Structure 1
């Protein structure tokens, strides 16, 4: 059936098509069923679930309303003619049922599911059933390997044609843990100093549940969204980058699955492993450092769970031929002083400039990870690697490399007071009793910072004055909340007063 396009100014994160109820009756279609939408006299098409508009709406019988995802994919103009026809149910739905029943899937079956997710042939409900099946029944190592390979094969890849391609990842869950820009700067400077045929093309994420992601933090002083060709140019100039990976189409199935996981509040272990390793394979990494944090409030509750996850990552990486080193670090409290984009960037710059007021816990963790990575790449002792990394940081070579990367990404370190200005409204939270700090909750701190406006408001967030194990007096300042509006500050303070993120005993 030929219908006229009515382009909606709607970005839904997935294709949305709406037809008139009379058209739906004519085609014998119901809400949620699929249609193939094709430009008239063109081969390009897209499959999308339909919604139905009743009579008396703004949609006429001869029209089809399309979200921007479809309009942009098919390069459609308003009032252009498209051909729509009912689409058959994908075979991947049967494979999803198999996983729900606890059966193992073959590579072909997993690849079909992943391919259909990427091509929007599955509804959100069907993707949710797949996520639930994996969460309830798990995946064996062959399935996880197949899922990882499928994610890579259905997306773009970055080829740099270098002997050594270095990458790093943290499984997250620790507030303020902004080691990546420091590690990239140290290793980038080491590449220059040692004349290595190596690069460190770091693609990072934006915040999902935390107060800020690495991309959010870097964006306070530089651009992070680039095309693949632009990233290659940046890396050619600097041997490194600090960019957002979300717009590159690396393992796009992973991004779509994560959207559903967020709605379900599920994070299946098999998907976590495939998600991380697929992104590393997509940039053709030769050496990957993975940091798994553990402790109360972290993704891994204790070191036993962290070690089990480490073994699984290592086994799957071996199956994929990926050189991986895994570190286990304490994630029971926030790292650094700042939580939020501008506050975390202030911490990073203080460490790189060796400012006397720099957060030493962030510096020590970054040095530890950089040393692990350098010893892994060069196959040298950790002691030797540690000396090299420390010398690079203390000599300002790491800072110079960071500035070079920021400049290449169309940013600068000038006017930092203006760029990293904190929210104009703030309030201090004080200790109600004397004692020792026994706990600082990552999740609670994240909630307060987000209620204050982070990461959308660069200057919103929290500045921590104390860490676990430190003594505190009655009425001594524990942390300060920053926000851009009085309303957000008031809400964040009410949350802080209620949930008590810092325990003093």
Structure 2
């Protein structure tokens, strides 16, 4: 059937034909990151009313896959669809298979719901679910997803709305269930360094506490747990593999974006990444949705609070604490929230490999281990020991310390690394940093009064973190330390010279260290 044409200008516009057409898959060795794209022959696409960046459905072995259409005049022939590597890996698509292709769109309910939300109208559960579903299945364009991501800055959600959003975000993806007590720890972030999770998980699971751990990628910090874990082991596993890891080892350390756990979350994170900003509402929803999807029933939330942290004051921290507890309880969890000091970075390494080096030093009880990182990890580990009823007060603190000092926690970490295809005998000295470094020296005598963590985060990202795992900073001096003129106060690491130069130019305008 020939498509009907209408002449609105010298350029011909094809009215869309909604019927599916069939083509064979051709695998394209190009990876776009988090984007899902398929290439169609330009003329064939236009014959069916499909334009560049339209949303199209691919029906592959009975499963609908929604992708962005891109068009090629000659690279892709009629009867072919080019499938980019990201889509191939996620959906296990094979070359030469027949797929049905059809124009698709988001549901009218989700678009109308988004319009209402942009006007400040509260959404019901059905409307919220429709938006989360269309984001999760890639029906929302990047623009619509960004609009939804930004809503929390203009219209703060009620506690009940947070619960509805978290529930919808989880239920539009995979849901995992484990028997018995299932615990988790999550930090709101915003503090550079602070990689307590990789110390706590082996420590606590060595005591028999079940802790399946998923994580997202960094938004506001130079490296989150996801980037750090990937330094030592694989982080992408299927639902079946995760269940097996937890059955055998009481834990896993895996990237949630590689699954369909709260799938809308990864797309909302992608929308927030360019500005390194995420509203408090979105942060709560993101954290609690993933806990719910992972079957967590005992959750410890760490809210770092400080003048240059993500949470600047006690009033905000207490409000967030109340919201976390409300949402968690509605989702069937026992929740404990700790508000911790965030006046400076935790540890001295900032950036994935620099942070992992310090994690290994704490677990291996290396003489150069950062004691602030060790102490915070032990404090939070003891709170989970209390939360699950294993010990109380001083006894919980003593049990955490004993487990670390005895080597039991490191032994468990070696077990986890081996199970996730890493080198269990890795030493901190074996980790390779970025080759280009620049030492920054004090210009006067004095004492470090403060470190601006927001400036530090920008510097680290300018150097290439979190994408470049080798990039970052090493802080030779921390708050309260005495310095003399000419002392090295921190070291910059980058893989390219221009990034060092850009970081220094930024530091010429912004003060990261206050020395008096």
Residue 377 of structure 2 corresponds to 366
1:407 equivalenced with 2:418 (yes/no): yes
Whole-Å separation in 2 of the counterparts to 1:224 and 1:85: 34
Q: Report 1:44-193 matches (<5 A).
A: 44-48=63-67, 50=69, 58=75, 67-68=84-85, 73=91, 75=93, 77=95, 80=98, 82-85=100-103, 87=105, 90-161=108-179, 163-191=180-208
Whole-Å separation in 2 of the counterparts to 1:260 and 1:190: 39
Q: Deviations over 1:53-85 (max 9, x none)?
A: 6xx665567665554555664836358463434
1:466 equivalenced with 2:477 (yes/no): yes
Q: Report 1:324-403 matches (<5 A).
A: 324-378=335-389, 380-403=391-414
Q: Deviations over 1:242-301 (max 9, x none)?
A: 333321221111111221222465423222111101111112112110001111221111
Q: Which deviates more, 481-490 or 138-147?
A: 481-490
The answer as to whether partners of 1:47 and 1:119 remain within 8 angstroms in 2 is: yes
- Deviation for aligned residue 1:331: 1.8
- Deviation for aligned residue 1:475: 1.6
Q: Deviations over 1:298-351 (max 9, x none)?
A: 111112211111111111212222111000112231111111222212212222
Whole-Å separation in 1 of the counterparts to 2:470 and 2:55: 44
1:251 to 242, 262, 285: 262
Whole-Å separation in 2 of the counterparts to 1:421 and 1:173: 25
Shift in CA distance, 481/48, structure 1 to aligned 2, threshold 3 Å: closer
The answer as to whether partners of 1:34 and 1:89 remain within 8 angstroms in 2 is: no
Q: Report 1:427-446 matches (<5 A).
A: 427-446=438-457
Q: Deviations over 1:461-484 (max 9, x none)?
A: 222122112222222221122334
2:294 to 266, 270, 283: 283
1:201 equivalenced with 2:219 (yes/no): no
Whole-Å separation in 2 of the counterparts to 1:431 and 1:289: 39
Q: Which runs of 5+ in 1 are unaligned?
A: 192-197
Shift in CA distance, 435/409, structure 1 to aligned 2, threshold 3 Å: same
Q: Deviations over 1:107-154 (max 9, x none)?
A: 111111111212222222222232233432232222221111111111
Q: Secondary structure at the match of 1:454?
A: coil
Q: Deviations over 1:145-195 (max 9, x none)?
A: 11111111111123232x11110000111111011111123212333xxxx
The answer as to whether partners of 2:444 and 2:486 remain within 8 angstroms in 1 is: yes
Whole-Å separation in 2 of the counterparts to 1:76 and 1:406: 31
Q: Secondary structure at the match of 2:439?
A: strand
The answer as to whether partners of 2:298 and 2:388 remain within 8 angstroms in 1 is: yes
Whole-Å separation in 2 of the counterparts to 1:362 and 1:337: 9
Q: Secondary structure at the match of 1:246?
A: helix
Q: Secondary structure at the match of 1:75?
A: coil
Q: Deviations over 1:342-375 (max 9, x none)?
A: 2212212222233333211111111111111111
Whole-Å separation in 2 of the counterparts to 1:405 and 1:62: 46
Q: Which deviates more, 114-123 or 16-25?
A: 16-25
Whole-Å separation in 2 of the counterparts to 1:225 and 1:165: 21
1:268 equivalenced with 2:289 (yes/no): no
Whole-Å separation in 1 of the counterparts to 2:211 and 2:99: 47
The answer as to whether partners of 1:96 and 1:133 remain within 8 angstroms in 2 is: no
Q: Report 1:411-422 matches (<5 A).
A: 411-414=422-425, 416=427, 419-422=430-433
Q: Which deviates more, 16-25 or 326-335?
A: 16-25
Q: Secondary structure at the match of 1:91?
A: helix
Q: Which deviates more, 169-178 or 5-14?
A: 5-14
The answer as to whether partners of 1:100 and 1:133 remain within 8 angstroms in 2 is: yes
Residue 511 of structure 2 corresponds to 500
Aligned-residue CA RMSD in angstroms? 2.9
